[in-house]
Structure 1
Amino acid sequence: MVPSGIYILALLALVIAAYAATPQLAPAEQLFSPLVAEKIAKVAAAPPNPIQYPQYTDRVEGDWIWFKPDEWTTGFFPATLYAMHKRAQLCPSISGNASQWLELGRSWSTGEISLEHNNTLGHDVGFVSYPFMLELGVNSKNATAQTAVIAFAADLAARFNPIVGCTRSWDTADPTDFQVIIDNMMNLQVLFASYELTGNQTLVDIAISHANKTMQNHIRPDGGSFHVVEYNATTGAVVARFTSQGYSNSSTWSRGEAWGIYGFSNMFKHTRHLDYLETARRMAAYWIRNTPSDGIIPWDFNAPLVPPRPADSSAAMIAVNGFLLLAEQEKSVFNESGAIYYTNEALRMLQANTALAWRPEWQSLLANGTVNNPEHNNLTGIVYGDYFFVTAGNQLVELGLASCV
């Protein structure tokens, strides 16, 4: 019998209470290696002409493979440069000049400007918005960033179907075939960012509706998740639940689960709706319960062990950030033991997966990422894995849980 969500949450509460006295774990020391700044700066200093963006590496030498700007991953390298701007403010002795990182972030972001009016990204406009949202954190009056965030949010809102209650993820030949992927929980952030600029409450309403439907139809009772839910665009009925990048239609693809943990924690941060916090907890409980004893995150939690299933360091790094965000939300509701619990789980995951994937000789910071295992694209460095690796280090310093050396 599958445990109910209430049973899982009750069990988790007992585990958290017992875990509260656990000593704080140390962060992965590679987070603050001089190689972090050196490798990112070397790539940033030589942009291709015309502009292209790194997405993943080859599997042998670890050299970046470059893609045109109209890709869902385009925003991650510029966002990494903004993360290094933050790192240089936090750790100037090992990270270089903050203003130079900021200039690099702005320079690399210019290649995305054309996407405001002409892109094929669909729902992924949220991901390419990252550097512009980060720019607004530096200079809230930056007109270029404001225009980009508002335009990309409008693109995402235009994909909302009120009958389904979601924004469409992938376009299909049949207009009644309305597919939504769990990844889209991450794109909702641009709606909140645009709301802060415009006061357009409709954007928040769309985000809440999408999150509610995802919570209802993507998340299983045990806290695992479906990758894709297909709706009928005319009736709003669920037609099918399946996977595109996971092992099977009934399995839990780890990167999708990581998007969900982060996405629902973020929805609670913005709305204070407790259902989102409880959903993030349930998904985190599934993650912890299904993580192997060595701490290495597999590309799919239900993939067979034989032949050896590849790891996904990118899913691990997204989840690290998601767990730290969840810990922050637990603190906000005065659940200190829960905050300690999720923080220690994040540190444990960070240690194990960094030890596996750290590659000083590669252009990427980490290896052992899985882009798309059904297409045999694994054992690579991945740009979003590196981005979330850097941001994890920044968060730990800001929280007083790590030093810069």
Structure 2
Amino acid sequence: MKILLKTCQLLIVALVLTGCKNKTEKPVEDTRTIIEKCTDQYTFLSDSIKSALDTKRMMPRNIGKNGQTGLTGIYDWTSGFYPGSLWYLNLLTNDSKWENLALEYTKKLDTIQYWTGNHDVGFMIECSYGNALKKEASAAFDSVIVQTAKSLATRFHPGAGIIQSWDSSKKWNCPVIIDNMMNLELLFHATEISGDSTYYNIAVSHANKTMENHFRADNSSFHVLNYDTETGEVLEKRTHQGYADDSAWARGQAWGLYGFTLCYRVTKDENYLNQALKIADFIKNHPNLPEDNIPYWDYNAPVDENTPRDASAAAITASALLELSGYLSTEKSNIYNTFANDIIKSLSSPAYFAETGTNNGFLLKHSVGSLPHGVEIDTPLNYADYYFLEALYRQQN
């Protein structure tokens, strides 16, 4: 009996140790597998667009209604995401193939540094040249970052304290969208490189005004605010891509979470950390968030079996949460880290991650560009892939 009892005890210990070992190793194995699948997919994608290298449209953005890969030029707001994805593949694999391809596509964006026609130059240049600088120092690339920040700074209105998003029109006097929080990283980066605090101060001013005006009592964000450029008065609070003016457009909430998290990274201002936490809790605890944590395109949209999900919003959220969790106490960190990993697990599943050789080479299925405009509904999008790869990189590190 004693021998039998001792044998059972040893067996239980062995099973517990095996379970612990599997718990530790399984996520690593899963991550390695998904990275391998990412490289296979992007090999397929990059090979399929080689014929477009000498045209004005060379950046893969989506799949068009004709089933062909939708290509866009360098002045499209999404132009930095493909080279950015290539940089992350290089950082994840250390394969020089991806570095060479990333450099090739990054350098195509050189003239963007002088463009003052859109606030999205932050997306374009920070995702491409900014990620290139994670690989190695380059005075030439530093120069591109600073010059782009100068161009972006021309859209700043000191009286209102904000960076104008789109140009004025009959519809808008001075529109500012929540997405604009993402372009502040470029300004912070430019101050770090140059030592010129002008860019830092503009970013902080814009973040403060956004925190003051963009958010509702439940910590959800409006999409578009229309400002008086002289007084800073908010003339309207509207939406452009959401379900309604007072709804919570899913990708907009993700932009806000990511934006305030990066602001805390640079400034260590607790107000930004608290704002990021409020947004994270809004997303995590929303009653309309599906069980797999991939949101519908708008948190307030009517839901039925045909309501589109937005994998891009989920990928942005996961990446932001992984960074946010690093700034918190262990208990809180575990909560948001687990939420991020659960999102990544869902995105890595066959429900959202494309089978190799399908989806025209894009990684994720089921994203939404702008449902109210009937554009890019239930399709792969290059920025969904970008933030998914960034999340994998942050998870790995």
Interval of TM-score (by shorter of Structure 1 and Structure 2):
0.7 to 0.9
Query: Which residue of 1 is the match for residue 90 of structure 2?
Result: 85
Tell whether 2:264 aligns with 1:268: yes
Counting only pairs closer than 5 Å after superposition, residues 307-346 of structure 1 correspond to structure 2 as 308-330=306-328, 335-346=329-340
Tell whether 2:136 aligns with 1:139: yes
Counting only pairs closer than 5 Å after superposition, residues 146-185 of structure 1 correspond to structure 2 as 146-173=142-169, 177-185=173-181
Query: Which residue of 1 is the match for residue 196 of structure 2?
Result: 200
Displacement, 1:44? 2.8
Helix, strand or coil at the partner of 1:379? strand
Tell whether 2:223 aligns with 1:217: no
The CA distance in 1 between the partners of 2:45 and 2:139, in whole Å, is 27
The CA distance in 2 between the partners of 1:397 and 1:67, in whole Å, is 31
Displacement, 1:119? 6.1
Letter in 1 for 2:107: T
Contact 1:313 1:367 in 2 (8 A): yes
The CA distance in 2 between the partners of 1:114 and 1:202, in whole Å, is 22
Letter in 2 for 1:354: S
Hey, which bits of structure 1, 4+ residues long, moved more than 6 A? none
The range that moved more, 28-37 or 343-352, is 28-37
Query: Which residue of 2 is the match for residue 70 of structure 1?
Result: 75
Contact 2:116 2:154 in 1 (8 A): no
The CA distance in 2 between the partners of 1:392 and 1:305, in whole Å, is 28
Query: Which residue of 1 is the match for residue 384 of structure 2?
Result: 385
The CA distance in 2 between the partners of 1:379 and 1:216, in whole Å, is 33
Segments of structure 2 that go 5 or more residues without pairing to the other structure are 1-22
- Equivalent residues, number: 361
Counting only pairs closer than 5 Å after superposition, residues 183-194 of structure 1 correspond to structure 2 as 183-194=179-190
Tell whether 2:36 aligns with 1:38: no
The range that moved more, 262-271 or 23-32, is 23-32
Counting only pairs closer than 5 Å after superposition, residues 285-296 of structure 1 correspond to structure 2 as 285-290=281-286, 291-296=289-294
Letter in 2 for 1:58: G
Tell whether 2:396 aligns with 1:397: yes
| Among candidates 345, 349, 357, match of residue 352 of structure 2 | 357
In structure 2, relative to structure 1, the CA distance for the partners of 1:246 and 1:138 (3 Å cut) is same
In structure 2, relative to structure 1, the CA distance for the partners of 1:297 and 1:229 (3 Å cut) is same
Contact 1:183 1:260 in 2 (8 A): yes
The CA distance in 2 between the partners of 1:57 and 1:81, in whole Å, is 19
Letter in 2 for 1:373: L
Could you say which structure has the greater relative contact order, defined with CA pairs below 8 angstroms and 6 or more residues apart?
A: 1
Contact 1:160 1:166 in 2 (8 A): yes
Query: Which residue of 2 is the match for residue 233 of structure 1?
Result: 229
The CA distance in 1 between the partners of 2:290 and 2:245, in whole Å, is 21
Letter in 1 for 2:313: A
Structure showing greater radius of gyration is: 2
1:170-189 Cα offsets, whole Å, 9 max, x none, are 10136981110000111000
Displacement, 1:145? 1.2
Tell whether 2:365 aligns with 1:367: yes
Contact 1:176 1:234 in 2 (8 A): no
In structure 2, relative to structure 1, the CA distance for the partners of 1:249 and 1:194 (3 Å cut) is same
Helix, strand or coil at the partner of 1:267? helix
In structure 2, relative to structure 1, the CA distance for the partners of 1:134 and 1:127 (3 Å cut) is same
Counting only pairs closer than 5 Å after superposition, residues 240-259 of structure 1 correspond to structure 2 as 240-259=236-255
Contact 2:260 2:276 in 1 (8 A): yes
The CA distance in 2 between the partners of 1:176 and 1:386, in whole Å, is 32
The range that moved more, 216-225 or 34-43, is 34-43
Displacement, 1:236? 1.1
Letter in 2 for 1:247: Y
1:85-141 Cα offsets, whole Å, 9 max, x none, are 10113xxxxxxx2x2211111111121112223464x1000001121111222222x
The range that moved more, 340-349 or 294-303, is 294-303
Helix, strand or coil at the partner of 2:341? helix
Contact 1:195 1:204 in 2 (8 A): yes
The CA distance in 2 between the partners of 1:114 and 1:353, in whole Å, is 35
Displacement, 1:353? 3.5
Identical counterparts, % of pairs: 30
The CA distance in 1 between the partners of 2:32 and 2:208, in whole Å, is 35
Query: Which residue of 2 is the match for residue 100 of structure 1?
Result: 97
Q: Normalization by structure 2: what TM-score?
A: 0.86
| Among candidates 38, 55, 60, match of residue 50 of structure 1 | 55
Q: Give RMSD over aligned pairs.
A: 2.1
Letter in 2 for 1:375: H
The CA distance in 2 between the partners of 1:236 and 1:313, in whole Å, is 35
Letter in 1 for 2:128: P
Counting only pairs closer than 5 Å after superposition, residues 292-303 of structure 1 correspond to structure 2 as 292-303=290-301
Displacement, 1:60? 7.7
Letter in 2 for 1:50: T
Displacement, 1:347? 1.1
